[in-house]
Amino acid sequence: MTGVLPALPVLLPVLGAGLTLFPLSHAVVRALSTGVLTLVLACEAALLVLADTRGPQALHVGGWPAPLGVTLVADRLSALLLTVSTLVALAVLVFAIGQGTAEDRTPSVVVFHPAFLLLITGVSLAFLSGDLFNLFVAFEVMLAASYVLITLDADENRTRAGMTYTIVSLTSSLLFLSLIALVYAATGTVTLAQLGPRLAELPDGLRGAFALLLLTVLGIKTAVIPLHFWLPDSYPTAPAPITAVFAALLTKVGVYALLRTQTLLFPRTDVWTLLACAAIITMIVGILGAIAQDDLNRLLSFTLVSHIGFMLFGLALFDARGLTGSILYVIHHIVVQAALFLAAGLVVGRTGTAALHRMAGRWPPGVLVIALFAVPAMSLSGIPPFSGFVAKLALLEAGVAQGGPVAYALAAAALLTSLLTLYAMTRVWTVAFTARVAGHREEPPPEPDTPAARPSGTRFMFAAAAGMTVAGIAIAVCAGPLAELGERAAEDLLHPRDYRSAVLGEGDR
């Protein structure tokens, strides 16, 4: 069973997506989707234990060894991200079921569930891909599924945002495919385990051009400034659960691809100044953009862009401490960003608007909703003892230990961004939750006749948001063991001997 375990996170969601296309009742489709994701989560947890105790787990699909066939590889980093991502996806699915987003207007067809499961298929394939081409395929699967999700019940604005998202994604995909062709022409392989030594034999100029082009391609998908413009215009238009899963997972897949490819294909022994500059600009410009927003979802989207810079911070240092900090920050951000967007969905549902200046005169969203927003907001700002503080502290310690002007500049930018994030979250608190207009608020809006307005739907939504908030707290509580696991994953990235052995065999490292 353990031999096929790396295939299950990809295979099970595909099978589930196919089954949900049959004319089944909504209740059966919901149970099928949640059951599939629960089973996938259990498989990934087992895979994480195996990868941590026995080393990378590789599966040669169809029995064809690399580089002839498709190889799925799960090491500590990919298995950890798989587990956390599926946990978030399961919570978002529960929220969507409660809100009613998971049900299509056409009674005979439910589009949300197959598209959502295919999105998780693409995410899983990206984390497990052992070669560049299948990484490209994973991004295309995510693109196809995410376009369906972002345009569900689309009006003019959402359709326009979906087109922007798709055009930018297709452009980056075209660049990625061109890069793969060039790399194959220069090295004769696209298998990640083989590419590192072969790229090292190329002239420095050509190798540097490949590294820069790959950084550009993944920078678009990760929303690194100035390649970020598509994200704040696309994500806020979708329903809350769709925005939450996009914000939590899609950009993190790009970050994972950067971590994997830059360390495996283009190893360095010193600070990467170019990436450090991109990280600083992303942190500062992104959070300034957030502060300027009046729409709650756009504010959170710019905050998402800004905090991508923290993940690039550790990679730019290119040492074990920095990579550990980046891994911790990715784990923290997946959970906390999902929690924030789910809580924002509750706030907008209760107040009837996403505009902060309008919330000031509306009925308060309720103590529980405010708490579900406040806890992840404090974590994102780096307030101790939450998970954001733990991850940021790891990055700051790595920057100080590295030393030098670039590392200190990264640390200073991280501190400034944290303070500005706290200001942005405090502004949401004061304007949306505590402000008064003429000493009173309007009467609460009438409850709509939607699943979210019914007790069962509301309970699902609150349970999902609360689950993500608790998961963020659990990351802080388990900071010690998680940091140790992150250190081992960082060492794997810097010394990929076991990864290459698992893919190619002992004789081909």
Give the tens place of pLDDT for each residue, 301-355: 999 999 999 999 999 999 999 999 999 999 999 999 999 999 998 888 887 888 8
Per-residue pLDDT at 460: 87
Residue with tokens 């996806």: 89
State mean pLDDT over 453-476: 83
Per-residue pLDDT at 103: 60
Cβ atoms 378, 472 nearer than 8 A: no
Answer left, alpha or beta for residue 505, where phi above 0 means left and psi between -120 and 50 means alpha.
left
Amino acid at site 121: T
Distances (CA, A) of 116 to 23, 161, 172: 17, 19, 22
More confident residue, 152 or 378: 378
Average pLDDT, the chain: 87
Per-residue pLDDT at 364: 66
More confident residue, 102 or 498: 498
Per-residue pLDDT at 451: 42
DSSP reduced 3-state for 370: helix
Q: Which residues contact 307 (CB under 8 A, 6 or more apart)?
A: 283, 286, 329, 333, 337, 380, 417, 421
Cβ atoms 199, 214 nearer than 8 A: no
Per-residue pLDDT at 361: 66
Alpha-carbon span 321 to 259, nearest angstrom: 14
The percentage of the chain sitting over the pLDDT mark of 90, rounded to a whole number, equals 58
Q: Which residues contact 422 (CB under 8 A, 6 or more apart)?
A: 381, 382, 383
pLDDT exceeds 80 at position 457: no
State mean pLDDT over 454-465: 77
Find the angle CA(68)-CA(268)-CA(207) to the nearest 5 degrees.
55
* Total-model pTM: 0.91
Handedness of CA 21, 27, 28, 30 (dihedral sign): positive
| Tokens, residue 50 | 């195996």
Long-range CB pairs of 446-453, under 8 A, 24+ apart, other chains included: 450/99, 450/100, 451/97, 451/98, 451/99, 451/100, 451/103, 452/98, 452/99, 452/100, 452/349
DSSP reduced 3-state for 319: coil
| Tokens, residue 154 | 């689309």
Confidence bin at 507 (pLDDT 50/70/90): very low
Sort strands 57-60 and 71-74 into parallel, antiparallel or unpaired. antiparallel
Cβ atoms 503, 71 nearer than 8 A: yes
Give the tens place of pLDDT for each residue, 398-425: 999 988 899 999 999 999 999 999 999 9
Give the tens place of pLDDT for each residue, 84-119: 999 999 999 999 988 876 665 444 446 889 999 999
pLDDT exceeds 50 at position 484: yes
State mean pLDDT over 378-386: 91
- Cis link prior to 445 (omega < 30° from 0)? no
Per-residue pLDDT at 379: 93
Alpha-carbon span 382 to 386, nearest angstrom: 7
Per-residue pLDDT at 448: 42
Per-residue pLDDT at 2: 59
Amino acid at site 23: P
SS3 per-residue string spanning 103-147: CCCCCCCCCHHHHHHHHHHHHHHHHHECEHHHHHHHHHHHHHHHH
Distances (CA, A) of 93 to 85, 125, 236, 375, 505: 12, 19, 18, 21, 39
Per-residue pLDDT at 369: 86
Give the tens place of pLDDT for each residue, 247-303: 889 999 999 999 999 999 998 888 999 999 999 999 999 999 999 998 889 999 999
Listing DSSP states for 10-32 in one string gives HHHHHHHHHHHTSS--HHHHHHH
Listing DSSP states for 234-274 in one string gives HGGGS-HHHHHHIIIIIHHHHHHHHHHHHHHHS--SS--HH
Per-residue pLDDT at 313: 93
Give the tens place of pLDDT for each residue, 120-149: 999 999 999 989 999 999 999 998 898 888
Give the tens place of pLDDT for each residue, 206-259: 998 999 999 999 999 998 988 888 888 887 777 888 989 998 899 999 999 999
Per-residue pLDDT at 351: 79
